[in-house]
């Protein structure tokens, strides 16, 4: 049986726990209020794009996914019943849409990604004029960031997603559990495996 399928659901919150302003915004969006829909997009578009980018690693794909996510949000928001905070519910949609897209995108586009060395060779590398650190230290930091990105990309999608939600977006275990549709215990074990895999890959490098 696939990991995370047979688990107890994460405890839900109720409408009474949802912030009053947020509840009103959700209800207005469900009523197809265009101003409310625009307000929701404005409040969450940066988060949706950044998570999409972290999961897919491509700017254009992240933009396309962001549009898909908000279309999905507005198609399904009438069914929102306060089972989580609005932000966490949107995280769940991003993860599900990214998983669907990643299944075919990763195979087709990996060959188009260029390494940091290739980018510097082809385009040059302009230093930040406000940064006085030694050039070799800056380059070393960029190399480390590139190795981390490559190591993340080698992880199974579910492990990568758990790491991104925890270490980059700062979600709680409960929020990650809801976003991934798994129990908190599974979140912790998945994070442990992901971290060990990252450590192993970085040691090999």
pLDDT tens digits along 112-137: 544 445 545 555 544 444 555 566 66
CA distance 4 to 179: 12
Each residue of 176-192: pLDDT tens digit? 999 999 999 999 999 99
CA distance 45 to 182: 25
Task: State whether residue 112 is helix, strand or coil.
Answer: helix
State how far the alpha carbon of 73 is from the alpha carbons of 10, 85, 92, 136, in Å. 21, 14, 10, 45
CA distance 153 to 161: 10
pTM here is 0.71
């Amino acid at each position: 049986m696939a990991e995370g399928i047979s688990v107890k659901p994460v405890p839900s919150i109720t409408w009474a726990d949802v912030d009053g302003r947020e509840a009103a915004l959700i209800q207005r969006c469900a009523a197809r209020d265009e101003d409310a829909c625009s307000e929701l997009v404005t409040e969450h578009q940066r988060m949706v794009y950044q998570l999409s980018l972290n999961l897919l690693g491509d700017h254009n794909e992240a933009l396309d996914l962001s549009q898909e996510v908000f279309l999905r949000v507005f198609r399904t928001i009438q069914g929102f019943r306060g089972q989580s905070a609005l932000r966490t519910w949107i995280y769940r949609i991003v993860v599900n849409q990214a998983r669907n897209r990643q299944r075919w995108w990763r195979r087709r586009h990996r060959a188009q990604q260029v390494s940091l060395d290739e980018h510097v060779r082809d385009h040059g590398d302009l230093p930040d004029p406000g940064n006085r650190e030694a050039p070799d230290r800056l380059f070393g930091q960029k190399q480390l960031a590139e190795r981390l990105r490559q190591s993340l990309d080698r992880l199974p999608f579910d492990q990568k997603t758990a790491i991104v939600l925890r270490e980059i977006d700062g979600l709680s275990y409960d929020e990650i559990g809801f976003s991934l549709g798994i129990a908190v215990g599974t979140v912790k074990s998945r994070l442990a495996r992901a971290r060990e895999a990252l450590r192993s890959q970085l040691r090999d490098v």
